[in-house]
């Protein structure tokens, strides 16, 4: 059984702990593919990604357009 937080749940939990993140956006306009950015205390930007259902974890060659 797989268990994962949705992007909105994760961002809400982070906000409750004082972590600011950008408003999530959908690169393809869908409700289940979301990305958001935050910055760690050292200034490194971190992208949070909620992949759409059925997408393999992480990037694949199918994610890059020619």
Which residue range forms the structural domain that includes residue 32?
A: 7-54
Decide if 25 is inside a domain.
yes
Decide if 37 is inside a domain.
yes
Decide if 23 is inside a domain.
yes
Decide if 48 is inside a domain.
yes
Decide if 60 is inside a domain.
no
Q: What is the pTM of this model?
A: 0.75
pLDDT in tens, 17-29: 999 999 999 998 9
pLDDT in tens, 43-64: 999 999 988 888 877 777 877 7
**In the 3-class helix/strand/coil scheme, how is the chain assigned residue by residue?**
CCCCCCHHHHHHHHHHCCCCECCCECCCCCCCCEEEEEECCCCCEEEEEECCCCCCCCCCHHHCCC
- Nearest to 19, CA basis, from 49, 39, 47: 39
The structural domain count of the chain equals: 1
Compute the chain's Rg from CA coordinates. 13
Decide if 2 is inside a domain.
no
Cβ pair 13, 27 in contact under 8 A: no
């Amino acid at each position: 059984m797989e268990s994962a937080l949705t992007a909105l749940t994760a961002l809400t939990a982070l906000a409750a702990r004082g972590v600011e993140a950008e408003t999530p956006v959908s690169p393809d306009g869908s409700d289940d593919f979301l990305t958001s950015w935050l910055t760690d205390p050292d200034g490194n930007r971190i992208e949070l990604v909620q992949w759409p259902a059925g997408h393999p974890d992480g990037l694949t060659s199918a994610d890059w357009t020619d």
